[in-house]
Amino acid sequence: MKNRAVIVNAVRTPVGKMRQSLAGVPAMTLAAEVIKASIQKAGIDPSKVDEVLFSNLMNNDNGSPARMAWLAADMPMEVPGATIERRCASSLTALAFAAALIESEHADIVMAGGVDSYSQQPILVKRPEQAYPSTLKILEVKRSPDNIGDVSMLQTAENLAEQYGISRAACDEFACRSHKLAAAAWAERLFDEQIVPITIPQKKGAAKTVVMDDCVRPDCTVESLSKLKPVVKADGVVTAGNSSPMNDGASAMLVMSAARAEKECLEPLGTVTAFACAGYHPHYMGYGPVVATQKLMAQTGLSLKDFDLIEINEAFAAQSLACLKVLGLDNEADMARINVNGGAISIGHPNAASGGILVARILHEMKRRNVKRGLVTFCIGGGQGMSLVVER
């Protein structure tokens, strides 16, 4: 019988809006804080960690981010690390790979997670063709090769809205729902166990401690969202208000074999039982949760009725609604178990950290409700999807 991989804790920073509360904090500092918090919560000797699997997309001025993050946390140098990249599902992939290492008996304890800081994203330029060019060309990151054609993430959401008949009104209602649910969760202090406060020294006066997400708007209304202009085309549905913002944040998950958790007297928060990834056309990348979830259901024999809670990453309202429609979840009964404490539209989307953020959110809510099984699913820039099952 294979080793069972369990998550003993899942933590995250507050999510900062680009250029706001966490703007002055380097990405590796954010990563270090969640790593330290995870180790401290578990009360384990960090030298016993076998591997660090960490993700970072936006801050490529940090060579080998997994290694950098671990060392920035003042952790033992003997512990190795590898950086995992799968765009928006990077830290979810790190978790899946951590579980696979443990199940195959290649590791006993793995630190998984991710960090991104849009505020501190470096500007890259193309190598000039001459020694002293009059201008420098900013390097834009491609998500698709030239033979397929690169389109913006915003355009991919519009493509899905058009194909599946998703209206502007439905998008704004979905976005407002996200804000209301996240605001209610904060008011009820449902995120307290997963949040790692970030203390920031100030040039003058006392240090400032960030404890809450920047982007949640308790006063959000459908009426206010409806006044925003579409960003892709005049009659489009995608706006700044019904899309996930650009953010700063980090997440960490400590994964162990069930036997090791028992030896350390640690109660698992949850278990990784299955995951699946699938590819799709990059111009419709937001459809990824559908193909990944269908693949996962075929692998496991589960159906969507078997999940008590579902977290779908809210990259765009249009994209999320299209997926929910195809999966048959766009009804009042099923929506009662989907993104019950808000999602990326309200809480934010620091890309490489988001997998861990959703896992922390669903596991703590599963614990609170005393339910058994949850699904986390992501669309991925470049045309992929990933879905992962957690159980308690």
Per cent of the chain over pLDDT 90 is 92
Type of residue at 160: L
Distance CA 236, CA 242 (A): 12
Distance CA 23, CA 21 (A): 6
Residue with tokens 């699904």: 375
pLDDT category at 236 given cuts 50, 70, 90 is very high
Establish how many alpha carbons lie within 13 A of residue 29's alpha carbon, considering only the half-sphere containing its beta carbon.
13
- Residue 5 corresponds to which tokens in the numbers above? 């991989």
Relative to beta strand 309-312, strand 270-279 is unpaired
Architecture of domain 5-122+244-391: 3-Layer(aba) Sandwich (3.40)
The whole-number pLDDT of residue 140 equals 76
SS3 (DSSP) at 276: strand
Helix then strand then coil, % of the chain, to nearest 5? 35, 20, 40
Does residue 349 have an active-site annotation? yes
Average pLDDT over residues 197-217: 97
Instruction: Out of 88, 171, 176, 277, pick the active-site residue.
Output: 88
Closest Cα partner for 55 from 390, 377, 340, 357? 357
Distance CA 11, CA 44 (A): 16
Burial class (CB in 10 A: 0-12, 13-18, 19+), 132: exposed
Distance CA 319, CA 166 (A): 9
Residue 341 has pLDDT above 90, yes or no: yes
pLDDT category at 378 given cuts 50, 70, 90 is very high
Q: What is the DSSP string of 214-238?
A: SS--TT--HHHHHTSPPSSSTT---
Does residue 215 have an active-site annotation? no
Beta bridge partners of 5: 257
Average pLDDT over residues 68-86: 98
Residue 43 has pLDDT above 90, yes or no: yes
Instruction: Out of 176, 220, 277, 349, pick the active-site residue.
Output: 349
Integer-rounded Cα radius of gyration of the chain: 20
Relative to beta strand 198-200, strand 208-210 is antiparallel
Contact indicator for 197, 14 with CB cutoff of 8 Å: yes
Q: Euclidean distance between the first and final Cα of the chain, in Å?
A: 19
266 contacts: CB under 8 Å, gap ≥ 6 = 8, 42, 256
Per cent of the chain over pLDDT 70 is 100
Does residue 88 have an active-site annotation? yes
SS3 (DSSP) at 10: strand
pLDDT category at 143 given cuts 50, 70, 90 is confident
SS3 (DSSP) at 54: strand
Q: Give 110-135 pLDDT, tens digit per residue.
A: 999 999 999 999 988 888 888 778 77
How open is the CA angle 118-121-124, to the nearest 5 degrees?
Answer: 145
The whole-number pLDDT of residue 125 equals 82
Residue 1 has pLDDT above 60, yes or no: no
Greater model confidence, 62 or 324: 324
Cβ neighbours around 385 below 10 Å, total: 28
pLDDT category at 165 given cuts 50, 70, 90 is very high
Q: Give 172-188 pLDDT, tens digit per residue.
A: 999 999 999 999 999 99
C-alpha distances (whole Å) from 367 to each of 42, 149, 305, 355 are: 17, 44, 19, 18
Contact indicator for 210, 16 with CB cutoff of 8 Å: yes
Q: Give 249-262 pLDDT, tens digit per residue.
A: 999 999 999 999 99
Instruction: Out of 171, 215, 323, 379, pick the active-site residue.
Output: 379
The whole-number pLDDT of residue 170 equals 99
Average pLDDT over residues 287-315: 99
Residue 74 has pLDDT above 80, yes or no: yes
82 contacts: CB under 8 Å, gap ≥ 6 = 51, 52, 53, 66
Residue 23 has pLDDT above 60, yes or no: yes
Average pLDDT of the chain, as a whole number: 97
